[in-house]
A = this chain, B = another copy of it.
Amino acid sequence: MGAARFLAGLVRVVDPATVTAIVNVGDDTVLHGLHISPDLDTVTYTLAGAINPETGWGLRDESWQAMTLLEQYGGPAWFRLGDRDLGTHLFRTGRLRDGAPLSRVTAEIARAWGLELTVLPATDDALRTMVTVAGEGEIGFQDYFVGRQHSVAVTALRFEGASGARPAPGVLDALRDADVVVIAPSNPLVSIAPVLAVPGVRDALRAVRARTVAVSPIVAGAALKGPADRMLRELGHEPSVVGVARLYVDVASALVVDEADAAHAPAVEDAGMTCIVTPTVMSTPDIAADLARTTIGAPAR
C-alpha cells in the first residue's frame, strides 16, 4: 500500500511523534463477526516493521491454522485472516463491543506495536465503500477488491454512512495544525475519497490547501498496484497524473509526480497545481524517505 510505504519513509525524515496518519475506513468490513480494518492494519503493521513483505498486507511469520479449519467446514475463506492477525481483529472487535471508539482502539493497537506516530481512522462512525459492479449491482468493497480481485468493471461508488459520519477526534485538529498535509499515493477514488467524504474533512483541507501536497498514485498512466488506473477510466476520469490533479485541485496546491510523467508537468500546472517531479516508485526505503522529504518540502517552494 502506497500510503503505508510513504509513511514509513516519512518517519525516517521527520520526528514520528509529529506525524498523524488519517486513514480510510471505507474498506472496513465485518467477517465472521469480526471487525476488520484493512487500511488501519496495513499502516500499523508496516510502520511496526511487521507487515508481510510478500503480500503487502497481514503479518510476517504468519500461520493459517484458523483458515485451514474454516475451509474444512466449507466456510468463506476468500478473505485470508492469519492466526496472528486474528489477534488484532479479536482485540478490536472486543473493544468496539465494549463501547470503545475505533480511534481509541487504533491508538491502543499502535501503542502495543511501539509506534510513535498517531494513527487515526478518518471517522469512528460506520462508513462503508459500496461498489456498483457492471452486471451485478452494488457489493461491499472487500467483495469487490478481494472477492472479485478487482477484476470487474466498476460503474459507481458510494460511501454508505458518509453523510452522517463525523471526523474522528483529532482529525480536523491535525489538518488545521499541520505544517504540511500530504495526500498519500493511494487510490484517489476508494482510499482518499472516503476520507474526504466525511463531512468537514474536505473543508478542512481546502482551508489549508496552500500547504497540502498530493503524491500521484498513477505513474506513466498506470497504478503500481491495484485497480486505480482502471477505476479512474471506468468512472470517467483520465488515468494519468493530469486526471489525478483534476481530482485534487480543490484540496491540494501541489502534486508530486514520477519522473516518468515529467512531460505531463505543464498539464498538471494548467490544471491548477504546482507540479513536482521526483522518483515516486518506492522500491526501497531510501527512495521512500527521499520522496517523503521532497513532498513535505513542496509547500516551501
Contacts and interface: CB of A to CB of B under 8 A. Distances in A.
Interface of A: 30-35, 62-63, 65-70, 72-76, 81-91, 93-95, 97, 108-109, 112
Given A34-B93, A63-B63, A69-B88, 17 more contacts: A31-B94, A32-B90, A32-B91, A32-B93, A32-B94, A63-B83, A66-B66, A66-B83, A68-B84, A69-B86, A69-B87, A73-B109, A73-B112, A74-B108, A75-B90, A76-B94, A83-B83
Given A65-B63, A86-B83, A112 B33 contact: no
Contact of A74 (B34, B85, B112): B112
Contacts of A35: 33
Contacts of A62: 65
Given A32-B93, A34-B32, A75-B90, A83 B65 contact: yes
Contact of A87 (B67, B88, B90, B94): B67
Number of copies: 2
Nearest to A81: B90
A70 B87 contact: yes
Contacts of A63: 63, 65, 83
A119 to B, nearest CB: 14
Contacts of A73: 87-88, 91, 108-109, 112
A280 B34 CA distance: 42
Nearest to A90: B32
18 contacts: A32-B34, A32-B90, A32-B91, A33-B34, A33-B90, A33-B93, A34-B93, A63-B83, A68-B87, A69-B84, A69-B88, A70-B87, A72-B87, A73-B112, A74-B108, A75-B90, A75-B95, A86-B86
B72 A112 contact: yes
Given A34-B33, A83-B83, A90 B74 contact: no
Nearest to A82: B65
A76 B94 CA distance: 9
Nearest 10 pairs between A and B by C-beta?
A69-B87, A65-B83, A33-B93, A32-B90, A83-B83, A66-B86, A75-B91, A32-B94, A33-B33, A73-B91
Contacts of A31: 94
A30 B62 CA distance: 26
Contacts of A68: 84, 87
